[in-house]
Amino acid sequence: MPELDLSPITRIEGHLDFKINVEEGKVTDAKAIGALFRGFEIILRGRDPLDALVITPRICGVCPTSHNDASARALDDALNASIPENGYLMRSILLGVENLMSHAAHTYVLFGPDLANKKYEKHEAYPELARRFAPLTGTSYKGAVLARIKLDEIFAIFGGKHPHTTFVPGGAPVRPQLSDITKALSIFMQVQEFLENVTLGCSIERWLENRSLKDVQKWLEEDEKHANSDLGLFIRYAPELGLHKLGPGPGNFLSYGVYAQADGRNWLPAGFYDGKHHKLDQSRIEEHIKYSWYTGYEGGRHPLEGVTEPYYEEGEKYTWAKCPRYDDKPAEVGPLARMIIDKDPLVLDLAKEYGPCVYTRVLARLHEAVRLAAKIREWLLELDPAKPFFGSYERVSSAEGIGLTEAARGALGHWIRIKDGKIDNYQVITPTAWNVSPKDSNDVHGPIEQAVIGTPVEDENNPIEVQHVIRSYDPCIACTVHVITPRRSYKLKVV
């Protein structure tokens, strides 16, 4: 059975190694390979608990704020923090801005260029798809990059540069003036202009009136601007390109909930879906290492009891990514999961019609981006510069804390144990660890591996179908560090 090595999968955040077996034009087996070791759990041992606020955002240069949010929430829990309403709002605004930046990058820079792949050259929509989405030259591609830069300016006003310790236990150590809020709103309106004129072809409010596929069809037909927008173009032609038939995955969805509010609730709720909606019980989370280059235990372990002991060996192990499971089940995380857990009517109707697939994932991400943009504007208007943004916390000798949030790519969790005033254990499960997880102790494949298995491959020299599936999850392998030995040199042999 021939094996195709697609490594590295580029045009994601970082580089993912990936191997597939193909038989009679279909993928029969798949391995998602995290080829770089991420050792932040080891770096944090023995440090002051507040050091986590500075170190963990460096796990990923793409989503440092989500790691800062998770570490701050873990410390909120451990240090009995009190957070004022402005503190919650500022965390939600900056995390939302960062996630919106990631959604723009995924739609236009990472996934979008695949729509201009040579496989589709004979399709009637190809000239327009290439004009808009071709890398570097596409009109929408360039516009999205500029919009992303504008969003980063909002972040700079309130939070400083990326990565930056913007959140602390007790809230956010900032005190914006009314002029800062006004400037941020002005910049956001420029981003909204791109979203409405290019992505949607209508106002944010008009798109959010769509609550079913029937509504979307009516939306397409009511105005030429809708049908010819980037979103309209994708809705019209993606099924014709077969994207609705690719990458079903395991069908289980997990969200930790995100954008915590002062009333104790998250704007987007937590939960687990396996055909039915369940409340989240974080005690059901475990990590397996049977096929990962680690040692120290067998079966699954909850992160508070987690061990990160790297151990590379040839054999059945094939990745540096650990294998998280919820209630012993692989779970897809990300925008599609968040919208399903939130019972968003449009996405539920979309999933009912097409199931989880490339088309559904991309459309759910775009829909979440529109919802999020509307909410960020609302949060900005709720800020009160006359009131505090930071509350209080206690220094303790021993405690445990759990920080659950959502990065753009899905569920992100930090678990901390403090002993004698120092970090005794710190464990991180990133969203991509959920999605690119290897087989578990029961030999069950992870979500992306399952989604790729069964994918048709028309041309082994251009396996774009497999790349569609992988990129629809928006994996981020930037959450890694290289093992370096300064006094030794290496030669890389490329075959």
C-alpha dihedral (201, 203, 204, 210), degrees to nearest 10: -80
Cβ atoms of residues 409 and 474 within 8 Å: yes
Instruction: Locate 272 and state its tokens.
Output: 């687990």
Backbone angles phi, psi at 4, to 5 degrees: -105, 125
Give the pLDDT of residue 477. Answer: 83
Convert the pLDDT of each residue in 403-459 to its tens digit: 999 999 999 999 999 999 999 999 999 999 999 999 999 999 999 999 999 999 999
454/29 Cα distance (integer angstroms): 8
Domain coordinates in residue numbering, the chain = 3-472
Cβ atoms of residues 344 and 260 within 8 Å: no
Spans in the chain with pLDDT lower than 50: 480-484, 492, 494-495
Convert the pLDDT of each residue in 65-101 to its tens digit: 999 999 999 999 999 999 999 999 999 999 999 999 9
Single out the residue of 190, 106, 103, 108 nearest to residue 153, CA to CA: 190
**Cis bond before residue 163 (omega within 30° of 0):** yes
Given CATH 1.10.645.10, say whether it is the number of domain 3-472. Answer: yes
Cβ atoms of residues 409 and 475 within 8 Å: yes
Instruction: Locate 19 and state its tokens.
Output: 């191997």
268/343 Cα distance (integer angstroms): 10
Collect all residues with Cβ–Cβ distance below 8 Å to 305 and sequence separation of at least 6: none
Give the pLDDT of residue 209. Answer: 98
Backbone angles phi, psi at 287, to 5 degrees: -115, 135
Indicate the residue type of 474.
D
Give the pLDDT of residue 483. Answer: 47
Give the pLDDT of residue 494. Answer: 46
- Mean pLDDT, the chain, whole residue set: 94
**Count of alpha carbons within 13 angstroms of residue 41, beta-carbon side:** 23
Collect all residues with Cβ–Cβ distance below 8 Å to 392 and sequence separation of at least 6: 81, 82, 170
